[in-house]
Chains A and B, each alone.
Chain A
Amino acid sequence: MIAARTTNHRRRVAAGLLGLIVLLSILAPLLTGTDPRDATTGAELVSPSWQHLFGTDLLGRDVYSRTLYGGRRTLGVALLTVGVTLLPGLITGLAAGYFGGWIDRALMILMDALLAFPALLLALALVALLGSGAIQIALAVGIAGIPAYARVTRAAVLEARTRMFIEAARAAGAGPAGILWRHVLPTIAPPLLAFAGVMLSWAILNSAALMFLGYGGDLSAPDWGVMLADGRAAFRTAPWVATAPGAALSLTVLAINLLAGSLDSRPGRE
């Protein structure tokens, strides 16, 4: 009971925090009247004040406005990334886990080969191939995440396959598609959802890393990774430039991880 309550509580806090961050990003135009790309002459590296809540960067752009707008781009790229990872990862994992045999072996050899590359290295190689830009980053990081997701899905399917009701469904003559859709997927949804959360925070961090390295394409577009890179050069004189996007990134990832952790241990599942 106590465990369930703390989990509930933690989930509420995490969901609230994440909701707040998403809301702030969405409502950016209402919360600030400053164009995030607008460089104000004579207002470079101004420390935080009422006029510039988070200060300004080297070019005189408002860090508060850039942080709010940056959330849109950072979270947008991360969502796209997870989309790219989830569907192929899920299908591969389901197919491998359910059918087994040579399908399983072939798919898993492929996935293991991909897993042998560090994911960020694979993403870097892909972005070098695809060119720079937000979409390209989402694709690269997304593809790099597929093998891990496929592996987790397969493991969950293997476990679910042994359950009695699936045996029963098969005995009743249901087809593989029907079984997967109606019986397997609902059973394995909670751990997969939790892992999707982990993938999301992973996607945020990795796409921010690629943005930080300058693969984001549009240079002046606000993005937390880009802002971190901007702030790094001036970190000794103007720490606020990197602090705001850094804190935003950490809080978002923390909230997602807390939320994902609590999804897997819903009360009543045990």
Chain B
Amino acid sequence: MSFEPIRKRAPARLGVLGVLMLVCCLGMAVVGLLALHDDAESDEDAGNKIVYGLTLNPSGFDPHIHLSNELGIPFYSVYDTLIYRHPQTMGFVPGLAETWTMADDGLAWTFSLRRDVTFHDGTRFDAAAVGANLNRIMDPEIGSQKARFLLGPYTGYEIVDEYTIRLSLSEPYAPLLDALSQVYLGIASPTALREQTKNSYQWHQVGTGPYKLVEFVPGDRIVLRRNEDYAWGPVFYAPASDQSVDTVEFRFYTDPPTRSLALEGGDVQMIGELLPTDAELLAGNTALRILRTPIAGTPQQFFINTRRAPTDEFMIRQALLYATNRTAISDAVFQGQSPVAYGPLVSVTPFYSPEVERLYPYDTGYARSLLEGLGYADTDADGILDLDGEPLALTMVFASWNQMADVAQLIQSQWRDLGIDLELIQVPDYPTLLEYANAGEYNLIGMYDFGVDASILDQFYRSDGARNWSGISDPELDGWLAEGIRQNADDARAQLYAAAQLRIMEQAVVLPIREYINLNGTSARLDGVIFSAQGWWPLLRNLQLTS
């Protein structure tokens, strides 16, 4: 009898419960979705907008202080420099300075500045503004990591008149113009420098360039907007048009495999450092373009330690160079997208000497005979050569950048075939690498640097070089490199650097692997993609967004 009401009520109760649960679940899902929904900033009046993917979140973005190449990707367009290098000819062209002259003794350079330039904050640009920037860079308090080093023997400046400034040097310094053409010596508004502290300035940077910094959310995004008043650009800057990009938003894609996905998915319209395998894959996509941009400076390379056994032995260093199949490395790791390197400079660098390409062809037979000549033989039949019971074991240290681990493993495999045992030590960052370098605990160590001027060799190969990690000490080489920065004539410099490059290779203190290529991907709608002479920094001014 009492079954009826129960049977009737039970489903009803379940129904109420079910509805409640359903509502709860839906509610949670909605809350979840709301939480996940990234509230994009309003895009109204943004006009032509692109998103640009950065590949690294460097320790800082202040060009006067920090040294990452990545910071120049946005900020090369926020600042103007006194001088520019033309991206095609690599020659120097006027920037904020209209003309410049070097004193006969090479100890002073006078720059006449443009009179029609205004900073983004309305401050007038003049000689005093340049002076304020130089003061800041030289101030030990701000701890400049690169800009100060670029100025070399600079000692001070003198304001000749409102639009003329003279820089003094303690000795002739040919790379000065090259230094002044880099973003690290971009001219910032003296007003902004005064108003901000050393640390806070990087989030409120003000220059004279074609783009203004409008938003900087550390670790998340940097937003630039076009400077409508810009009319003082170098010759290679295109005039503004309807298709010019009004807003550029930079976002971070530090994990390499995510970059091609972001590009294909339309999250970014431009991004650098694609994985070579991905670049190959995207090549067939008509909505995208892949650009290979060579970067001047040193190649991806390993310094060979002359201060530690057994690489203190010249013939062993030579054998290592002969034993390395660089073409195979370039083909495998970089899908052949990156040219093989033969010397301490890459081929797009001015004063590169092709002479080095004759040296050290891949020749395992010769490498083996060099080692046998030293008395190495595999006496205990373990596959590793030994001498007086001591196996031929080497240590290689490198940081985890730019597929160094893949390169190192291939070298390890190639050398093992010859009976050389190579231990690989991968470190997470530059400070750790520096610890190994300072302790001298390596036979080979991976390091490279970028720059257009050949004087980039000094830090690595002068006996007193800050990063002379091969421990080379060659008085004649020291002389050439010292003269290379004193001489201002191109032909004299070319001769000195050719001799230096050849000597460095003859001494077998570096194992060059491949020239650095930045694999950029862009949307096919983006035209006018050009990079500065330094290779890393895009000319945002020239970008055109077609429909």
Contacts and interface: CB of A to CB of B under 8 A. Distances in A.
A219 B257 contact: no
B311 to A, nearest CB: 20
B520 interface: no
B275 interface: yes
Contacts of B333: 58-59
Interface string B389-426: 00000000000100001101110111010000000101
Nearest to B400: A214
A39 B277 contact: no
**4 tightest A-B CB contacts, nearest first:** A39-B413, A41-B328, A44-B332, A220-B409
Most chain A Cβ neighbours within 10 Å, of B281, B325, B400, B409: B409
A40 to B, nearest CB: 9
A232 B280 CA distance: 16
Contacts of A218: 424
Contact of B416 (A37, A59, A60, A219): A37
A59 B413 contact: yes
A233 B42 CA distance: 35
B277 A233 contact: yes
Interface residues of B, number: 25
Interface string B257-270: 10010000000000
Contacts of B281: 236-237
B325 A220 contact: no
B464 interface: no
Interface in A204-253: 214, 218-220, 232-238
Contacts of B260: 236
B278 interface: yes
Contacts of B328: 41-42
B410 A39 contact: yes
A237 B256 CA distance: 14
Contacts of B429: none
Contacts of A41: 325, 328, 331-332
Given A41-B325, A214-B400, 11 more contacts: A38-B413, A39-B332, A39-B410, A39-B413, A39-B414, A41-B328, A59-B409, A235-B257, A236-B257, A236-B260, A237-B278
Interface string A12-56: 000000000000000000000000011101101100000000000
Contacts of A38: 413
A236 B278 contact: yes
A45 B413 contact: no
B413 A219 contact: no
A220 B257 contact: no
A165 B257 CA distance: 61
Contact of A219 (B331, B332, B405): B405
B139 to A, nearest CB: 36
Given A41-B328, A218-B424, A237 B277 contact: yes
A234 B277 contact: yes
Interface in B268-286: 275, 277-278, 280-281
Contacts of B331: 41-42, 44
24 contacts: A39-B332, A39-B409, A39-B413, A41-B325, A42-B328, A44-B332, A59-B409, A214-B400, A214-B426, A218-B424, A219-B405, A219-B408, A219-B424, A219-B426, A232-B257, A233-B256, A233-B277, A234-B275, A235-B257, A236-B257, A236-B277, A237-B277, A237-B280, A238-B277
